[in-house]
Amino acid sequence: MKEGILPMARDHKQKEDYMSKDISKPEEREAGSEVRVGLIRINEEEVHTHVDKLVRNTVEDVLNSMLDAEADQLCKAQRYERSPERTDTRAGYYRRKLHVKVGEVDLRVPKLRRLPFESAIIERYRRREVSVEEALVEMYLAGVSVRRVEDITEALWGTRVSPGTVSNLNKKVYDRINQWRNSPIEGEHPYIFLDGLWLKRSWGGEVRNVSVLVCVGVNMEGFREVLGVVEGAKEDHESWLCFLRHLKNRGLTGVRLAVSDKCLGLVEALAESYPEALWQRCAVHFYRNVFSVVPHNRLAEVAMMLKTIHAQEDRQAAEDKIKVIVAKLSDRKLHAAAKVVSEGAHETLSYYAFPQSHWRHLRTNNPLERIMKEIRRRTRVVGSFPDGESALMLVAARLRHISGTRWGTRLYMNMQRLCECDEMEALTTA
């Protein structure tokens, strides 16, 4: 073999070392994300930086070329071209920044002497690509905090947006959310679930509570729907009455059972708005009320007693079981618990008037409680809202998102059972 073939090998030993080295197998990765491949060293960070810069420069060149082409089209002639059809001439350009998916690019926007230059590519005063703005809004509404949105934008696009920017973008979707909140309610909803949520908002330098009232219903096809969400000053009679009237004016009909916890204002407002509907007290909330007057070492024993009430075959059997449980609690010196069960257990038995296959879904307010838990998780990140509208919009946006997921598209109940019960009742009455 000639010496010139391996110019770097000075002697025979160097040639053997060079030929025996397998340059096809990379050696171990060194610190600093630096990789050795044979005699070649590659710095991954520098490669990624170079590629990002190359892509960003390409996007920048393409956008500037398109802006120049638009200016030529408006002038009906290219730059420095003599043409009898020319309608205007160039007057230089001004620079502006634009945030796109690959980062921040520098645009040279042409200026004309007589005609206004209106670009179809970049709207005037826009500083971000539409897709970037949509991504910011979707991140916020999907449950990402504003601070986290700032970190994500800096990692993805190399620029950090301010909290004010995110808030301004969110205001653009408020109209769509309000339109969804006030849309007509179609069809009948035999079952509805009601609950309220307390949030904090800043008011005159102080932090005060604001309530958000939510209603979820099951339609005649057996699917769940978010029927309404409004801001209430308090969870009192007036707030619930206004909310139920709001639902009724939008078309909520056919209500036969309303499930909620024992909020006196709600129960009274429901009797005024839908007097023909039954009210079902959430069994889980009832259990908690009983547990509050039971010693800690007796909770498991009392819980087993209460569960037997809602494991009966019909309402009459459940009523009889309540009497037995009250007597047992009194015998075991749990008089306060016996009083709570005696006064309130009957309110948790309304679901017995409906098909047995629906009992599990109607006995508690869990279908709505799970949603409210997700809402609390998201609002806990925000902390204190600047006003009631911001709190309402965030809750409504999350509910709107949830209703479009599998939660709202999965069959929840077989409503054919309810129709069959109605037919049996009609035949019995006849």
- Residue 397's nearest CA partner among 426, 375, 377 is 375
pLDDT at position 156, please?
A: 54
Residue 39 lies in a domain: no
Question: Is 147 found in the same domain as 201?
Answer: no
Question: Is 251 found in the same domain as 385?
Answer: yes
Residue 415 lies in a domain: no
- Residue 418's nearest CA partner among 216, 257, 193, 252 is 257
pLDDT at position 158, please?
A: 58
Contacts of residue 3, defined as CB under 8 A and 6 or more positions apart, other chains included, come to 9
Residue 430 lies in a domain: no
Residue 259 lies in a domain: yes
Question: Is 194 found in the same domain as 165?
Answer: no
> Structural domain tally of the chain?
3
- Walk along the chain (430 residues) in steps of 10 and give the mean pLDDT of each run: 45 49 46 51 59 65 76 79 81 74 72 72 47 56 63 62 67 78 93 88 69 92 94 80 94 95 88 94 94 93 94 94 95 93 94 93 90 81 65 82 86 90 78
Residue pLDDT, tens place only, 347-381: 999 999 999 999 999 999 988 888 888 888 877 76
- Residue 121's nearest CA partner among 85, 96, 92 is 96
pLDDT at position 65, please?
A: 78
Residue 42 lies in a domain: no
Question: Is 267 found in the same domain as 128?
Answer: no
pLDDT at position 80, please?
A: 75
Residue 34 lies in a domain: no
Query: Is the separation of the CB atoms in 209 and 199 below 8 Å?
Result: yes
pLDDT at position 240, please?
A: 92
CA-to-CA separations, 237 to 132, 266, 267, 283, 284, in angstroms, rounded: 44, 6, 8, 22, 23
The reported pTM is: 0.65
Question: Is 355 found in the same domain as 323?
Answer: yes
Question: Is 215 found in the same domain as 318?
Answer: yes
Domain that holds residue 371: 190-409
Question: Is 324 found in the same domain as 247?
Answer: yes
Q: How far apart are CA 235 and CA 210, in angstroms?
A: 9
Question: Is 243 found in the same domain as 133?
Answer: no
Question: Is 216 found in the same domain as 161?
Answer: no
Question: Is 351 found in the same domain as 254?
Answer: yes
Residue 180 lies in a domain: no
Question: Is 133 found in the same domain as 16?
Answer: no
Residue 397 lies in a domain: yes
Question: Is 303 found in the same domain as 341?
Answer: yes
* Residue at which a domain ends, from 108, 140, 171: 171
CA-to-CA separations, 78 to 65, 67, 73, 88, 341, in angstroms, rounded: 12, 12, 8, 10, 88
Query: Is the separation of the CB atoms in 146 and 91 below 8 Å?
Result: no
